Amino acid sequence: MKSFLIPTKGSANKGGNTVRHSKLIKALIIAFTLGMFSVANAADIKAVKVSGAIPTSPDNPFWSERYGPTALKHVIIDMDPQMITNPMWPNPSTKYVFVKAATNGKEIAVHLEYGDATRNDIMVRSQQYKDQAAIMFPVNQSGEEPPFTMGGDGERVNIWQWKATWDKEGSNMQDMEDQYDNMAMGSAGYYMFEPDGKLSGIDTAHKSGTKTGSYKNRGGGDISKRSTNIDFGMGQNEGVYNPGRATGNILSDSGMRVSAVEDLNAEGFSTLTTQAHQDVQGEGNWRNNRWAVVFKRSLSTGDSNDTQFSGGKTPMAIAIWNGGNKERNGQKAVTQWNTLHY
């Protein structure tokens, strides 16, 4: 139970960690006493050994349950409510997930499939929440498992988080005009402050008077050539009004992404950090009220922040968020550590 729940390394020497762990223990005792929290049995996920490339598209016949190398190679893993830290989530939408994996000796890929009655891949308005799924591995593959609660102090985990919004966006960031088709803003108020007067992504003609038409006529950078003060693409184009992109935030700059999966690290709650180097490929597909998601990465990357797959097996935990159920952050379905064999 110690390695399953509570970080232990160095906690006696760090008062802040001791207090945090004490609160965590109390929360667990209350949860178990009230019957709020039960844990599914750990599963063994055996990666199918294949030759050749492993596709990231969930629609590829490679991942089919009817034919192909991974047919009927899945295991079903029960999902648990996140009842360890606030905000607790006693009734997540996702109750179980189908999991299978494949390796070609150079790469490892994991395929998740689970039910979801709504496709939530737009998150522009404050009342919108996105569908997400993540898998997590210990960075240090020796010794005891770190806490499955996103690791612990000195016990780093590597998290691969797929986001439905990133799949939908591709290289085009979603913005307010994607929610409101006729949205436009007077441009005089912000073009004046564009650095060096170099205006990019401006439709100088606005011949069609629509956002779609505006996108097709982008490119005029000379303010003197503009025939209107209305721009139908201002939210996505202008860096001066996108401080997240200006500061190198991967959530705001799609150019920093290599796929719909974000490569992250954590050492406990509230420590989730985007990696400087993104290594994970992946994508998702929603069909017939189900999400199918593929994660793929090289077995070895040489990055000390990454899990290196070299020992034949590794602990792997899963988390799923259903945007239709307003799930986000700690409000999610989770698993304990399972074992991925490769």
* Region of residue 143 (phi > 0: left; psi between -120 and 50: alpha; otherwise: beta): left
Evaluate if residue 222 carries a pLDDT over 80: no
Q: What is the pLDDT of residue 40?
A: 62
pLDDT top residue among 169 and 219: 169
* Element housing 291 (H / E): strand 290-298
3-state secondary structure at position 204: coil
State how far the Cα of 70 lies from the Cα of 111, in Å rounded to an integer: 10
Report in angstroms the alpha-carbon separations of 319 from 64, 82, 332, 337. Answer: 23, 9, 7, 11
Name the amino acid, one letter, at 62: F
Q: Does position 21 have pLDDT exceeding 80, yes or no?
A: no
Distance CA 284, CA 297 (A): 15
pTM for the whole thing?
0.75
List the chain domain ranges.
2-170+257-341, 176-240
Q: Dump the DSSP string for 61-98.
A: GGG-SSSSTTTT--EEEE-EEB-SSSSPBSS-S--EEE
Greatest distance between any 2 Cα atoms in the chain: 71
What is the DSSP pairing of strand 157-163 with strand 290-298?
A: unpaired
Does the pLDDT at position 61 exceed 80? yes
Establish how many alpha carbons lie within 13 A of residue 235's alpha carbon, considering only the half-sphere containing its beta carbon.
Answer: 17
The helix (run of H) or strand (run of E) holding residue 283 is strand 281-287
Which tens digit of pLDDT belongs to each residue from 247-301?
A: 788 888 888 899 999 999 999 999 999 999 999 999 999 999 999 999 999 999 9
Mean pLDDT taken over the chain: 79
Residues sharing a CB contact under 8 Å with residue 299, sequence separation 6 or more, in sequence order:
103, 105, 106, 107, 108, 308, 309, 310, 342
Architecture of domain 2-170+257-341 in this structure:
Sandwich (2.60)
Say how far apart CA 51 and CA 304 lie, in whole Å.
27
- Give the whole-angstrom CA distance, residue 170 versus residue 249: 16
Distance CA 198, CA 191 (A): 9
Output the pLDDT for position 109: 98
Q: What is the mean pLDDT of residues 91-101?
A: 97
pLDDT number for residue 242: 64
3-state secondary structure of 200: coil
Report the distance separating Cα 104 and Cα 331, nearest Å.
35
Q: CA-CA distance, 74 to 255, in Å (whole number)?
A: 34
pLDDT in tens, 124-169: 888 889 999 999 999 999 989 999 999 999 999 999 999 999 998 8
Choice between 94 and 35, residue whose per-residue pLDDT is larger? 94
**Residue 337: per-residue pLDDT:** 97
What whole-number distance in Å separates Cα of residue 191 and Cα of residue 237?
11
Q: Residue 100: CB partners within 8 Å, gap ≥ 6?
A: 45, 48, 63, 70, 73, 74, 75, 110, 111
